[in-house]
């Protein structure tokens, strides 16, 4: 089924990314005000019609996580009640993704709860990037398109650093598969940091598996939160004779002591994608932010046109043609053809 005109909206989580995506698509960002009432409740005012439209709502559930999530849910409900034809929740960063299983008695599985909330609010599909565990796609009862940030990072490193002495390093055992795929794409060897986590957001480096002496090491992860794992890993690698250490990830959460740790660290460069906006405090000399806008714009265009998005899992489009929206005459012509 082909819907009417495409419309792209955003909340307050990452308006810069949403604006960039809309500009690439060649369409204006939807007019919508998301504010607060005096008691703190979220106020939403959609200022244009969405009846019958293919609506894409770009909203990462990043800090402040609960406010961003509620904005997402309330906006979806607004579009549903305004008779939108189809609603796609574009969630570049999916918060609560790490709470995906019960690690002890009476733990919630909040990642599943959030998936249920998005579905119950009225979303018809979800477009996201680098879920903490790919199995989270199965938490949704609606279609999920799961993009990968790896092609963007690979393209950057192929163009900007020599690969002759590079080693891709998994910061923990859980990241081995991701790092191995990254290393194979660059045709470089891998190493693994074996660590023991004492409690949440704290870790202790135990051992390094692989040869890193005389090598340039690249730590590969899906996210950097408090930066304890990355900075400790960098110290351990240099202690084993590494020439330099860099790090990259899709989601730069950078919470708590992360900025101070990165500023004081021995990391040569940390590359993150802009699924989460990086504010002025995170603009360090050794932090580089790459944009995911072209990738999301291409995915949105393909979903709107009912085309496959599978090729985007392995390659990043270099450009996106401005989208052609259906107008009334187009729709009448289609009906005449049928």
What percent of the chain stands above pLDDT 90? 79
Query: What per-residue confidence (pLDDT) applies to 310?
Result: 85
> Which range has the top average pLDDT, 147-151, 192-196, 312-316?
147-151
How many other CB atoms are there within 10 angstroms of residue 144's CB atom? 19
Q: For position 281, what pLDDT does the model report? A: 63
> What pLDDT is recorded for position 283?
75
Q: Which of 46-55, 113-122, 248-257, 271-280 has the lowest mean pLDDT?
A: 271-280
Distance between CA atoms of 11 and 58, rounded to whole angstroms? 7
Q: Is the model's pLDDT at 323 over the cut of 70?
A: no
- Of 18-22, 27-31, 318-322, which gets the smallest average pLDDT? 318-322
Asked if 195 is an active-site residue, the reply is yes
pLDDT for the residue 201: 59
pTM (2 decimals)? 0.90
What value does the mean pLDDT take over residues 64-90?
97
Catalytic residue from among 195, 199, 215, 307? 195
Tokens of residue 169, six digits: 């390093």
The band of 328, judged by pLDDT with boundaries at 50, 70 and 90, is very low
CB-count exposure of residue 309 (10 Å: 0-12, 13-18, 19+): middle
The Cβ of residue 297 has, within 10 Å, a number of other Cβ atoms equal to 26
Written as six digits, the tokens of 51 are 């009846």
134 has a pLDDT exceeding 90: no
The yes-or-no verdict on residue 241 having pLDDT over 60 is yes
Name the residue among 299, 252, 254, 297 with its Cα closest to residue 274.
252
pLDDT tier for residue 275 given thresholds of 50, 70 and 90:
very high
């Amino acid at each position: 089924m082909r819907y009417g005109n495409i419309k792209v909206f955003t909340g307050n989580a990452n308006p810069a990314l949403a604006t960039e995506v809309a500009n690439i698509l060649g369409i204006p960002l939807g007019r919508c005000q998301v504010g607060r009432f005096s008691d703190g409740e979220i106020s939403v005012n959609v200022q244009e019609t969405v009846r019958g439209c293919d609506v894409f709502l770009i909203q990462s559930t990043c800090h402040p996580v609960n406010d961003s999530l509620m904005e997402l849910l309330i906006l979806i409900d607004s579009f549903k009640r305004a008779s939108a034809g189809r609603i796609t929740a574009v969630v570049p960063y999916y918060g609560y993704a790490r709470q995906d299983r019960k690690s002890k008695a009476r733990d919630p599985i909040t990642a599943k709860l959030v998936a249920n909330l998005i579905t119950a609010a009225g979303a018809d599909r979800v477009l996201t990037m680098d879920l903490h565990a790919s199995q989270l796609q199965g938490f949704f009862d609606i279609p999920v398109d799961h993009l990968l940030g790896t092609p963007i990072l690979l393209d950057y490193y192929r163009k900007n650093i020599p690969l002759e002495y590079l080693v891709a390093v998994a910061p923990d055992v859980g990241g081995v598969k991701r790092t191995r795929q990254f290393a194979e794409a660059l045709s470089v060897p891998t190493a693994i940091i074996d660590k023991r986590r004492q409690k949440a957001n704290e870790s202790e480096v135990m051992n390094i598996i692989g040869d890193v002496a005389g090598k340039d090491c690249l730590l590969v992860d899906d996210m950097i939160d408090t930066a304890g794992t990355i900075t400790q890993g960098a110290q351990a690698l240099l202690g084993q004779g590494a020439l330099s250490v860099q790090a990259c990830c899709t989601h730069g959460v950078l919470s708590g002591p992360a900025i101070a740790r990165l500023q004081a660290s021995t990391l040569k460069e940390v590359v993150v994608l802009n699924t989460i906006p990086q504010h002025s405090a995170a603009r360090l000399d050794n932090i580089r932010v790459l944009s995911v806008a072209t990738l999301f714009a291409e995915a949105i265009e393909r979903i709107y046109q009912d085309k496959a998005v599978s090729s985007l899992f392995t390659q990043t489009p270099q450009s996106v043609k401005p989208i052609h929206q259906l107008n009334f005459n187009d729709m009448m012509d289609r009906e005449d053809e049928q």
